[in-house]
């Protein structure tokens, strides 16, 4: 076997195959974690684990908190065969789509390029799966923590193996689209251009001018003809089937990385149920957006759909349709720089007992995303996704923020409760290109009426932060389609996870969750949830920072 990361086990590598049967498909490197426990078993097809989900039920009675610990046994079954996976991006020729294709090709062909700092190797820095680690436990001899790449916890798709394709309203070939985006270093563009040219041009897409900014019309030269939305739906479904068949794929992840749309109006009888939405598509109703149409196409084809933009693609009818078809959806809006930092920093302040009174966020950027967002209705979609990121942290601390009053009129200040003033500004400045500039001011109340002001300036190359997130979301989505669970106390049959993949929240600004459940925006909680789930699938408890062995005799 090839060298593996230290597992802290006393089992020689020569004996590992007696614990873990050989992987059923050729892998880039052997699956190197062997859990020696009655809770974990390995077969040629599955990793099966037993896991106890521990929580607590809390009842408030006469000012007293009555807490009842709970424990519910589950079993997880993960198919070890990694699907041959295709990634179909809507917006393939945009900054994110062209950058992702070029980066994967550079890694796949090990292209090195020269910069003013020296020679640059291709990598996947920025990918949580490929460039961060998870703690498995401690070495029994040295007591040192043992960490492994997150991508090693369970069998996952390698990004180099993704089959790439997609749609775009611009028909520019991908080598030229990469040049237009002005994201990557020239020497890399020069070397990767022949491979990009082999990918050809994007498939024709759908263009409903009412949903994106008027300034995008000049790019719209690669369109599925007509205005019949049912015909458009069938065309997209046929594209997905053909891509899957032509490339002999097991799984296709459909990913919206195109322009931000305006919000769709939620209209009873139009998009509030699955049947109403399907009827609205047949009648070509004006409130059926392009992203919703793509989502419906993926759902009906049984393939996962992820929304990387802030609009409300997942109207209630889409969620109901995904539930009915047992398909997977996830979103919304990639969480890259400023918002990711805000979710960490606001949590830090609130958890430290400091009360943010206002958060003012200013952005300017010069890429096509910024151009589209210069239109008011498209900006409004982004404003909504960015502004909700602190809500759960505020709601968790009734010592700092007075909660809303029960029975108060919906939408009023009394119903919402106390909340920091939160203002977001985005301006389009062409000169800075893909280098987005963000300034945040946190104005807070501190001890005995004092005030604290913290200003943060954040500059990031937008698409180079977004691209690894698209890869992570795609790879995690494919993995979650291979995980099944059952209630161990009821001896149920194994069944798929719920259709809304809330475990993707770590990479998303406005996480979509199961209706009726709370949204978690805290970055630490999102990361911990994902790590705990991956570990549960191999029969391990989530990480504990109690480190009890260091605190007792």
Q: pLDDT band for position 245 (50/70/90)?
A: very high
This prediction has a pTM of 0.89
Are residues 495 and 507 in contact, defined by beta-carbon separation less than 8 angstroms? no
Closest CA to 203 of 368, 90, 86: 90
For the stretch 90-115, pLDDT in tens is: 999 999 999 999 999 999 999 999 99
Q: How far apart are CA 228 and CA 215, in angstroms?
A: 24
For the stretch 4-54, pLDDT in tens is: 333 333 444 444 444 555 544 434 555 678 999 999 999 999 999 999 999
Out of 81-90, 281-290, 311-320, 398-407, least confident range: 398-407
Question: What residues contact residue 534 under an 8 Å CB cut-off, 6+ apart?
Answer: 134, 150, 153, 154
Give the residue carrying structure tokens 């563009």.
Answer: 189
Burial class (CB in 10 A: 0-12, 13-18, 19+), 436: buried
Longest dimension (CA), the chain: 76
Q: Mean pLDDT across the stretch 206-227?
A: 92
Task: Name the residue with higher pLDDT: 370 or 148.
Answer: 148
Regarding beta strands 46-61 and 355-365, do their DSSP bridges make them parallel or antiparallel, or are they unpaired? unpaired
Are residues 166 and 90 in contact, defined by beta-carbon separation less than 8 angstroms? yes
Active site residue ranges: 333, 382, 436, 509
> Does the bond joining 324 to the residue before it have cis omega, within 30 degrees of 0?
no
Q: How far apart are CA 377 and CA 163, in angstroms?
A: 34
As a three-state string, the secondary structure of 52-109 is EEEEEEEEEECCEEEEEEEEEEEEEEEECCCCCEEEEEECCCCHHHHHHHHHHHHHHC
Query: Could you give all domains of the chain from N- to C-terminal order, each with its CATH number?
Result: 35-81+482-546 (3.30.2360.10), 338-461 (3.30.360.10)
Q: How far apart are CA 338 and CA 457, in angstroms?
A: 9
Residue 521: what are its φ and ψ, rounded to 5°? -105, -15
């Amino acid at each position: 076997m090839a060298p593996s990361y230290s597992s802290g086990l006393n089992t020689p590598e020569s004996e590992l195959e007696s614990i873990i049967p050989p992987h059923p498909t050729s892998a880039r490197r052997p699956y190197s974690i062997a859990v020696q426990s009655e809770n974990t078993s390995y077969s040629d097809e599955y990793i099966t684990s037993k896991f106890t989900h521990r929580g607590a039920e809390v009842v408030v009675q006469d000012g007293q908190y009555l807490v009842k610990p709970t424990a519910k046994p589950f079993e997880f079954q993960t198919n070890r065969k990694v699907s041959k996976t295709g990634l179909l991006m809507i917006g393939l020729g945009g900054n994110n789509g062209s950058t992702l294709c070029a980066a994967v090709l550079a890694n796949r062909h090990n292209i090195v390029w020269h910069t003013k700092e020296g020679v640059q190797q291709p990598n996947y820095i920025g990918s949580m799966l490929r460039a961060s680690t998870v703690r498995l436990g401690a070495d029994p001899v040295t007591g040192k923590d043992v960490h492994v790449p997150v991508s090693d916890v369970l069998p996952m798709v390698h990004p180099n193996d993704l089959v790439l394709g997609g749609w775009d309203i611009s028909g520019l070939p991908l080598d030229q689209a990469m040049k237009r985006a002005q994201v990557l270093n020239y020497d890399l563009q020069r070397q990767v251009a022949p491979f990009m040219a082999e990918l050809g041009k994007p498939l024709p897409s759908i263009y409903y001018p009412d949903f994106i900014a008027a300034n995008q019309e000049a790019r719209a030269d690669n369109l599925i003809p007509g205005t019949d939305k049912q015909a458009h739906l069938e065309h997209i479904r046929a594209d997905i089937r053909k891509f899957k068949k032509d490339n002999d794929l097991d799984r296709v992840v459909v990913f919206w990385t195109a322009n931000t749309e305006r919000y769709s109006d939620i209209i009873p009888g139009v998009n509030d149920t699955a049947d109403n939405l399907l009827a609205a598509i047949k009648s070509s109703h004006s409130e059926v957006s392009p992203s919703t149409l793509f989502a419906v196409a993926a759902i009906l084809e049984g393939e996962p759909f992820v929304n990387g933009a802030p609009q409300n693609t997942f109207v209630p009818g889409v969620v109901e349709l995904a539930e009915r078809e047992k398909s997977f959806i996830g979103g919304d809006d990639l969480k890259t720089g400023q918002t990711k930092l805000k979710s960490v920093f606001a949590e830090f302040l609130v958890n430290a007992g400091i009360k943010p009174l206002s958060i003012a966020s200013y952005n300017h950027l010069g890429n096509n995303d910024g151009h589209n967002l210069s239109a008011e209705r498209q900006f409004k979609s982004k404003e909504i996704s960015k502004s909700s990121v602190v809500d759960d942290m505020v709601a968790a601390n009734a010592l700092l923020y007075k909660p809303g009053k029960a029975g108060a009129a919906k939408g009023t200040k009394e119903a919402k409760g106390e909340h920091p003033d939160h203002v977001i500004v985005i301006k389009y400045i062409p000169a800075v290109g893909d280098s987005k500039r963000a300034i945040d001011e946190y104005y807070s109340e501190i001890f005995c009426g004092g005030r604290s002001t913290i200003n943060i300036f954040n500059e990031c190359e937008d698409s180079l932060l977004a691209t690894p997130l698209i890869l992570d979301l795609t790879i995690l989505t494919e993995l979650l389609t291979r995980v099944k669970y059952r209630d161990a106390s009821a001896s149920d049959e194994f069944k798929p996870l719920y259709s809304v993949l809330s475990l993707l929240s770590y990479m998303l600004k406005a996480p979509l969750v199961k209706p009726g459940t709370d949204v978690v925006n805290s970055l630490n909680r999102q990361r911990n949830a994902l790590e705990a789930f991956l570990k549960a699938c191999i029969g391990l408890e989530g990480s504990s920072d109690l480190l009890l062995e260091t605190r007792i005799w």
